[in-house]
Amino acid sequence: MSADSPLAPVRHHYRFDYQPITQRADYAWPGGARLAAYIGFNIEHFAFGEGLGARLGPASPEPDVLNFSWREYGNRVGAWRCIELFDQLALPSGTLINTALYDHCPELIAACVARGDELIGHGHTNSVRQGEMTAAAEAAMIHGCRERIESQSGVKPMGWLSPWISESPLTPDLLAEAGYQYTLNWCHDDQPLPMKTRSGSLWAVPYPQELNDIPMIIARQMSAPAFADMIIDQFDEMLVQSRAQPLVMGIALHPYIVGQPHRLTHLRRALEVLARARDLGQIWFTTPGKIAEHAATVAHNR
C-alpha cells in the first residue's frame, strides 16, 4: 500500500510497541504488593505578567493579578499544608519542581528534601512549553534543570515531567542523553514500560491525567468531595485489578488547588484510605523513581 493511500498506516512515534496488559510477564512490587501508589506533587512557579498558567477565573489583560496570585497561594500556603498532611500520614512524595523555585522560594524545596521526597525535574517554569523550543534550547533546559537540582539540593533527579506535558519529537532522546532514567509524560498504561530512544531506553512511569486535580477540578469543574471519591474509587478498582497484573496508581496534585482548605479536608479523607491500605500491606506507597528502579531490576533479571 502506497504512503499516500487513504488506508496507509498512520504516523507512529516508534517509542514503544503495542502490547496488551493481559499478555505480559507477571511480577510483584516490594513486599509482595500488587499495587504501587505514589503522589506526584507539582510545585510550580510562573512568570508575572506573561506566559501560561491555570486560571481560576477568566483571563484578564496582563498582568493578570487574580490568576497569578491564586497560583502563588500554592507556594506560600497550600504546599506547606499539603506537606503537613503528608507528614501526618507518613506518606512519601514524588515532588515535581520548576527550577525557578530556587530563585523564588528555596525554603519550600528544602522542606521537601528534608523529608526525603524524590525531586523530579519539571522544567524551569510552567509559563512556557518545551515543545515550542528549538532543539538546542530544549536540550540546554533539560540539562540545566538537572544540574541545578543537583547543585542546589545535592541529588541527581532520575525523572522528568514536562511543563504542560509538552514534548518535541526529540524529548525522550534528550532526556535519556541528559541522564534521566524515566519520564512521566506518557499516560498510556498502568505499568512502567521502557521507551526506545536514540541513546538507549527511558522508562515511562504511569502519570495520571484523570486522577489529576487540574483537568478534573479546573477543567471539568469537579467538586473537592467528588475528586476525593474519585481517588478512593480508583484505588478500590485498581486493587481488584492488580490481582491479575502489578499496577501503578499515581495521584497528581497541585498545592494551589488541593491546598485550599475546603479541598484539603477531602484530600485528607482520600489519602487516609491509602495510608490504611499501606499499613495493612495491601499496597506499596512509594515514589516514581523507586517504581522505575524496581521495574528496571525486574526486566534485567528476566
Q: Is residue 9 part of a domain?
A: no
Q: Is residue 18 part of a domain?
A: no
- pTM for this prediction: 0.96
Q: Is residue 4 part of a domain?
A: no
For the chain, the domain total comes to 1
Q: Convert the pLDDT of each residue in 113-172 to its tens digit.
A: 999 999 999 999 999 999 999 999 999 999 999 999 999 999 999 999 999 999 999 999
Q: Is residue 2 part of a domain?
A: no
Q: Is residue 55 part of a domain?
A: no
Domain that holds residue 148: 26-46+61-301
CATH number at residue 168: 3.20.20.370
Q: Is residue 52 part of a domain?
A: no
Q: Is residue 53 part of a domain?
A: no
The secondary structure of the chain in percent helix, strand, coil, rounded to multiples of 5, reads 45, 15, 40
Q: Is residue 262 part of a domain?
A: yes
Q: Convert the pLDDT of each residue in 20-65 to its tens digit.
A: 999 999 999 999 999 999 999 999 999 999 999 999 888 899 999 9
Reading phi first (left if > 0) and then psi (alpha if -120 to 50, else beta), residue 31 is in left
